[in-house]
Structure 1
Amino acid sequence: MNARWAYIRLQSMIVKRMLANNVRSREIQQQVMRKKIQLCAESRFGREHGLKSIRTAEDFRRQLPITDFEYLRPYMDEVRNGNPRAMFGPQTRLLMFALTSGTTEKPKLIPVTDDFVKSYKRGWKIWGLKAHMDHMDLARKDYVHLAGDWQESQTESGVWCGSISGLAAETRPPIVRRPFIVPPQVGKISDWTSRQYMTLRLALPSRRVGMIITANPLTLISLANLADQHKETLLRDMRDGTISMPDGEKKSGDASFGQRVGRVSKRRCDELEEIVNRTGHLLPRDFWPELSVVGVWMGGSVGAFIPDVRKLYGESAFRDHGLSASEGRMTIPMQDESNAGLLDYTSNYYEFIPVAEFGTDDPTILESHELEEGQSYYILLTNSGGLFRYNIHDVVQCVGFEGQTPLLTFLHKGVHCSNMTGEKLTEYQVATAVREAFVDSGRTVETVMLVPVMERVPRYMLLIESQADHGVERLAEAIDARLANLNCEYENRLKTKRLLPILPKTVPSGTWTRLRNEKIADRGGTQEQYKHTFLGSSDAILDQLNLGSLARGR
């Protein structure tokens, strides 16, 4: 038995304990709530909100309103400017700020404390241990983890800002760090394409890669396409011991990566060259033949791209990454091929609002054990980073229970909903309809956007890049039909002619890449965090694309 498998067997008690405690998660959630209160009770925020007087969930709701970042901003600004006591007690240590991706607003800086990191690492540890328990072969294989940079910038007070995944990767214990063959320093390469090239340059020499982990399936598609696009350069670099970055710069090595970059064995180079000669491509399904697990988001809008990832990465098991954000981890998937995850009830305190009541003056507030299977909810999150009863804008569905603990799937961001005529169309419904329409027509899923257009009779416009022009009318009809099956109100509006059928409109090749880069430049965040929106919030995007009144048919 190797040392890694012995470590996994020893640590697996953490997983077994969590699964056993599912029957008492209600009690544990109350303990977690009190712990979060204690962390901030001595702060200015704590004094102004009477945190010391809170004993029960009812007290908690009475003393604290449902919050967003604007409500918390005065305290968070003080923390950013060097006064952590505005939000945290004297025992709490501020380590960094996590940058949000700015899905709904401008980027926010989320305080990452020592207790926050402890909870974050614990959730990932349980995820990883359960994956190993289900795939024992991983204990003798290598891993590729695409982490970010936790030191992207600094606040005025000198605190680092960036991706918490980078901090977690840099502080792994040695026995855990050893199998990860792409070092955390790669996440510090600012150019996205160069970062991915370096990832391949360091990971391709191993044919024993057993697991690859990243959040966004589009990242995996991009990585595979880059390997194929630069196959000759990669093979030459491995034989010569060089690094030829896509920007044209060529290095004979890089001291920051030590001996990881050097000449690769002739046997491995010959094997990769044989793959190219035989298949005409250099793709993960061929160059990593022992790949067992792909850890990636499988739900929400990005789930539409999972079939393409499977084509590129082969017959591996897919394990959902879990519902996680800069604000914290919320679910831990415990089995393959499912985007349902067990609520991470030991890390944060959660409350839920039924979707139908969201935005009303006095919505029903539920604890996790009170959810109903089949119903959808908004999450309110209380974490160790000063977020209390925080509306994270995530909509989830309860798909079952383990003891008192709900199993949740991510549906969509709550702001991604369109309602011109009462159809209440959601991002999840659009992503599902698009995926089914593409797959049923035998086409690879393309990046598209459905945009609401308010005319005399409203309709949705399907924006699709010009290289996919062939057959777009039939594709639009297929998406319409699937949306009608998914949403009875949408079906009714079509039948009663209050909505016109979807109108397809082609946009120039490269449009989505340009919009992605513009959004990241404007709002911050990273390529990894970026999630394409299948449902536009308004027809303002048409002017941004220079389609204007022509696209609206005026």
Structure 2
Amino acid sequence: MSLKRFLLVRLGRLLTYPVRKQLRQFEIACETPEAVQNALLFDILRKQADTQFGRDHKFGAITSVAEYRNNVPVAPYEYVSPYIEKVQTGDTRALLADPRVLMFALTSGTTASRKLIPVTDSYLAAYRRGWNMWGVKMYRDNRGRRIAMRPIVQLGGDPEEFRTPSGIPCGNLSGYTAMVQRRLIKWMYTVPHVTGKIKDAKARYYVALRFSIGRNVSQLMAANPSTLVQLARALDAEKESLLRDLHDGTLRADLDISPEVRDYLTPRAKKNPVRADELSAIAGKLGRLYPMDVWPTDATVINTWTGGSMGPYLRQLPQYYGEPPVHDLGLLASEGRFTIPLSGGTASGVLDIWSHYFEFIPEGEIDSPRPTVLGAHELREGGSYFILPTTSYGLYRYHISDLVRVTGFQGKTPLVEFLGKGHRFANLTGEKLSEYHVTKAMDAVAQRINQPITAYSVSPVWDDKQPYYAIFLEEPDVANEPALKHFLAEFDKQLGVENMEYAAKRESGRLGSLRAMVIAAGTWAKWDRDRLSQTGGSPEQYKHPCLIGDLKFRETMAVLREVV
């Protein structure tokens, strides 16, 4: 070990000592989840009692969990959005006890409008604490790979897409945290934070690779493994240009990058002719250049989501990255970090009982008018539940629609893994398409195009090269194929209007274009009758699903032909 490496490792251990101590305390707290959670809930209620939301829901008078549940309904974003709108205009006390809002984290919602999640100092403190504990455990599990204090590849988004009327930035949370990191920590991340402002997907991947291939990378990190697949394909496709830029210290002039971002990147694009020649020799010998050819598998770790619908992408990683350890990032979103995986090779993480108060509704009761509601200490192993977080930054009994399964316990605190967005969502590569998006897009297109549709459902279809969505239509509705193709193009485009993440995934090539699956006349009527007989209920109350999130649905249908 070189002296520089030795000093960096010692510095890393010094910096992480408080986190290692914190992790030990957290593991002790996991032995008493009910007491820890109740104390946290009443601390949140006490601090938020004088906000407008707190007064409207009588926080100051609540003395029990039962009273909290009586005063505050289980509700989605739309319930709290009127208060968040006031915060956007500068009325912070409408929802928050914190004196300032650092930013609004943007996320695609279950409706056409985007969700704005207030990021406060308390939000950021909890978020960083969870990340730090996760990171310390991940490093500890991979000591033999000597990844400590070595560079990390991580792509972030734009931390400021726009500002609220009161001037608060709205954008990507990971982009914001990358921007405000301490200088030493920024050095460890190979991809400059301004890369998040590059809108063109090809340029964004190229810049990330340009600043990474010359460094001794230890980790590759992306929430969705589809990003890692795209990054690997871009590396091989652009290897000649990348190696030339690395050799000369340049950045391709034809990339779609704004002048401001290019001005920031250009002087930082250092040349490394020795490394460029090494990689050129490898590419010439192998006829390719994959991440495992640039960063050896025995000295790297992949950090990404491994639960839910991520399986098809995870199966593609070994052909590009080899088989380094894969660590799940945990259940996290713009709304916050909810779990902390404390071991590799699993999608399960322990509930972050220090940061959020959690409630759960059993999967089968989610549509019940009076569902059973359970605390974290009341869950059973093997059970599937919808998770309802209460946070210190304005989300109360928040129905985020995340379905989780309990896989075990850390002490007496549940370990949970993410299953999916429930029966009203589909999510191939991060687009989180909802039935609301689908029906709203259909309504909009139907007003413009006279396309006959007796009944339909949209469903995701997996394809190793490029997954896509399909709309299942009956034969009599598709007699005019040229008109159908026009309808498909317009419907595909409108889905992107209703769901910006769908549009982004289409633009980047991570999703293919919408296709029509033609089925026989009368298929849907029979399918609905069969489904009704299985699920029970009256025909008058039955609603045909316009979105079916099952990746295997295509295999269950007798498709006569496809129209692209």
Fold conserved between structures, TM > 0.5: yes
Q: Distance in 1 between matches of 2:221 and 2:489?
A: 23
Change (3 A) 1:154 1:523: farther
Task: Indicate conservation of the 8 Å contact 2:102/2:119, yes or no.
Answer: yes
Distance in 2, Cα, partners of 1:385 & 1:512: 41
Residues 118 and 466 of structure 1, relative CA distance in 2, 3 Å threshold: closer
- The superposition leaves residues 191-236 of structure 1 with CA deviations (integer Å, 9 ceiling, x where unpaired) of 2221111110000111x21111110111111111111111111111
Corresponding position: 1:186 with 2:195: yes
- Mapped partners of 2:57, 2:457: distance in 1: 47
Q: What's 2:442 paired with?
A: none
Cα pair distance change 1:124/1:519, threshold 3 Å? farther
Residue 170 of structure 1, CA deviation: 1.9
Equivalent residue of 2:90, what SS? coil
The SS at the match of 1:238 is helix
Q: Which of 279, 297, 308 is the aligned partner of 2:286?
A: 279
The residue correspondences of 1:492-531 to structure 2 (distance < 5 A) are 519-525=495-501, 527=504
How far the C-alpha of 1:261 sits from its partner, in A, is 0.6
Q: Does 1:410 align with 2:418?
A: yes
Match of 2:83 in 1: 75
Matched with 1:149 is 158
1:205 counterpart = 2:214? yes
Match of 1:61 among 51, 63, 69: 69
Correspondence for 2:25:
17
Name the structure 2 match of 1:363.
371
Residue 176 (structure 1) aligned with residue 185 (structure 2): yes
Question: Which of 108, 131, 141 in structure 2 is aligned with 1:134?
Answer: 141
Identify if the C-alpha distance between structure 1 residues 540 and 57 changes in structure 2 by more than 3 Å, giving closer, same or farther.
closer
- Alpha-carbon distance in structure 1 between the residues aligned to 2:294 and 2:281: 10
Residues 214 and 95 (structure 1 numbering): CA distance in 2 closer, same or farther, change over 3 Å? Answer: same
8 Å Cα contact 2:457/2:548 also seen in 1: no
Alignment of 1:304-323 (within 5 A): 304-323=312-331
Long gaps (5+) in structure 2: 1-5, 429-452, 468-483, 517-544, 550-558
Q: Report the residue type matching 1:230 in the other structure.
A: E
1:193–1:246 CA contact under 8 A, matched in 2: no
Does the CA-based 8 Å contact 1:379-1:394 persist in structure 2? yes
SS where residue 372 of structure 2 aligns?
coil
Same amino acid, percent of matched pairs: 34
Secondary structure of 1:316's counterpart equals: coil
Aligned runs of 1:103-118 on 2, under 5 Å?
A: 105-118=112-125
Q: Distance in 2 between matches of 1:231 and 1:513?
A: 33
Q: Provide the C-alpha distance between the structure 1 equivalents of 2:208 and 2:108, rounded to a whole number of angstroms.
A: 22
Task: Give the conservation status (yes or no) of the 8 Å contact 2:387–2:399.
Answer: yes
Aligned position for 1:166: 175
Report Cα offsets for 1:253-281 as digits up to 9, x if no partner: 954247531211x2211111011111111
| 2:250–2:266 CA contact under 8 A, matched in 1 | no
- Provide closer, same or farther for how the CA distance between residues 161 and 359 of structure 1 changes in structure 2, counting only shifts above 3 A: same
Give the AA of the match of 2:155.
L
Superposed counterparts of 1:242-281, under 5 Å: 242-244=250-252, 247=255, 254-257=262-265, 260-264=268-272, 266-281=273-288
In 1, Cα distance between equivalents of 2:218 and 2:356: 31
- Change in Cα spacing, 1:513 to 1:308, as seen in structure 2 (3 Å) is farther
Deviates more, 1:113-122 or 1:458-467: 458-467
Change (3 A) 1:304 1:465: closer
Secondary structure of 1:374 counterpart: coil
Residue 131 of structure 2: which of 124, 127, 140 is its match?
Answer: 124
3-state secondary structure, aligned to 1:391 = coil
1:370-425 superposed Cα distances (whole Å, 9 cap, x missing partner): 001001000111112211001000000001111221000111102447xxxxxxxx
Q: In structure 1, how many angstroms separate the alpha carbons of the residues matched to 2:457 and 2:154?
A: 42
Amino acid at match of 1:220: L
Q: Counterparts of 1:151 and 1:72 in 2: how far apart (Å)?
A: 23
CA contact (8 A) 1:243 1:250 kept: no
**What letter is aligned with 1:88?**
L
* Post-superposition offset of 1:183: 2.3
In the TM superposition, what is the alpha-carbon distance from 1:39 to its structure 2 partner?
Answer: 3.5
> Which ranges of structure 1 fall in alignment gaps of 5 or more residues?
418-425, 429-453, 470-507, 542-548
Q: CA offset at residue 103 of structure 1?
A: 5.1
Distance 1:35 1:512 in 2: 52
> Partners in 1 of 2:254 and 2:223 — Cα distance?
24
**CA deviation profile, 1:320-361 (whole Å, cap 9, x unmatched):** 111111111111111111101111111111100001111212
Q: Distance in 2 between matches of 1:532 and 1:466?
A: 11
CA apart distance, 1:305:
1.0
Secondary structure (helix, strand or coil) at the match of 2:114 reads coil
- The residue that corresponds to 1:449 in the other structure is none
The question of whether the paired residues in 1 share the 8 Å contact of 2:19 and 2:133 is answered with: no
RMSD value, Cα: 3.9
- Alignment check: 8 A CA contact 2:236 2:288 kept: yes
Aligned counterparts of 1:468 and 1:163: Cα–Cα separation in 2: 25
Q: Which amino acid aligns with 2:174?
A: S
Q: Aligned letter for 1:373? A: E
Shift in Å, 1:517:
7.8
Q: Which amino acid aligns with 2:193?
A: P
- In the aligned structure 2, how far is the partner of 1:4 from the partner of 1:196? 29
After superposition, what is the alpha-carbon deviation per residue over 1:445-496, rounded to whole angstroms, capped at 9, x for unaligned?
A: xxxxxxxxx999x999885779899xxxxxxxxxxxxxxxxxxxxxxxxxxx
Partner SS state of residue 28, structure 2: helix
CA contact (8 A) 2:108 2:499 kept: yes
3-state DSSP class of the match of 1:347? coil
TM (norm. structure 1) is 0.77
SS in 1 for 2:31: helix
The one-letter code sitting in structure 1 at the alignment partner of 2:245 is D
| Pick aligned residue for 2:238 from 230, 245, 249 | 230
Write the letter of the residue equivalent to 1:177. K
CA deviation map 1:22-41 (0-9, x unaligned): 10222111122123223421
Match of 1:330 in 2: 338
2 CA distance for matches of 1:329 and 1:360?
27
Aligned partners of 2:511 and 2:418: how far apart in 1? 16
Which residue pairs with 2:385 in the alignment? 377
Partner of 2:35: 27
